Amino acid sequence: MDPAEREDPVAVSRLRQISLARLAQFDIIPKRDLGQNFLIDDNVLGVILGRLECRSDDVALEVGAGLGVLTAALAEAAQHVHAFEIDRSLEPALAVTLGGADNVSLHFKDILRVSLEELEPAPTVCASNLPYSVAGPFIIEALQRLPGMRRYCVMVQREVAERMAAAPGGKIYGVLSVWVQLYAEVRKVRPLSRSIFFPRPNVDSSLVVLDRLPAERLPKAEPACLRAVIQAAFGQRRKTLVNSLAAGLRITREDALGLARSLDLPADVRAERLTPGQFAQLAERLAAGA
Q: Which residues bind ligand SAM (CB under 6 A)?
A: 19, 34-39, 63-67, 69-70, 84-87, 110-112, 129, 131, 134
CB of 8 to ligand SAM, least distance (A): 21
CB of 33 to ligand SAM, least distance (A): 9
Q: Which is nearer to ligand SAM, 35 or 276 (CB)?
A: 35
CB of 31 to ligand SAM, least distance (A): 7
CB of 264 to ligand SAM, least distance (A): 42
Q: Which is nearer to ligand SAM, 129 or 278 (CB)?
A: 129
Q: Which is nearer to ligand SAM, 210 or 249 (CB)?
A: 210
CB of 206 to ligand SAM, least distance (A): 14
Cis peptide leading into residue 137 (ω within 30°): no
Strand partners of residue 61: 82, 126
Calculate helix-pair angle for 158-165, 175-183, nearest 10 degrees.
60
Distance CA 220, CA 7 (A): 56
Q: Which is nearer to ligand SAM, 61 or 111 (CB)?
A: 111
Q: Which is nearer to ligand SAM, 111 or 257 (CB)?
A: 111
CB of 87 to ligand SAM, least distance (A): 4
Q: Which is nearer to ligand SAM, 65 or 280 (CB)?
A: 65
Q: Which is nearer to ligand SAM, 42 or 255 (CB)?
A: 42
Residue 178 half-sphere exposure toward CB, CA atoms < 13 A: 30
Q: Which is nearer to ligand SAM, 42 or 162 (CB)?
A: 42
CB of 163 to ligand SAM, least distance (A): 18
- Among residues 49, 43, 47, 41, which one has the least CA distance to residue 71? 49
Query: Nearest-CB residue to ligand SAM?
Result: 64
DSSP string, the chain: --GGG---HHHHHH--SHHHHHHHHTT----GGGT--EE--HHHHHHHHHHHT--TT-EEEEE--TTSHHHHHHHHHSSEEEEE-S-GGGHHHHHHHHTT-TTEEEE-S-GGGS-GGG-SSPPSEEEEE--HHHHHHHHHHHHHH-TT--EEEEEEEHHHHHHHHPPTTSTT-SHHHHHHHHHEEEEEEEEE-GGGEESPPSS-EEEEEEEEPPGGGS--S-HHHHHHHHHHHHHTTTS-HHHHHHHHHT--HHHHHHHHHHTT--TT--GGGS-HHHHHHHHHHHHTT-
CB of 78 to ligand SAM, least distance (A): 15
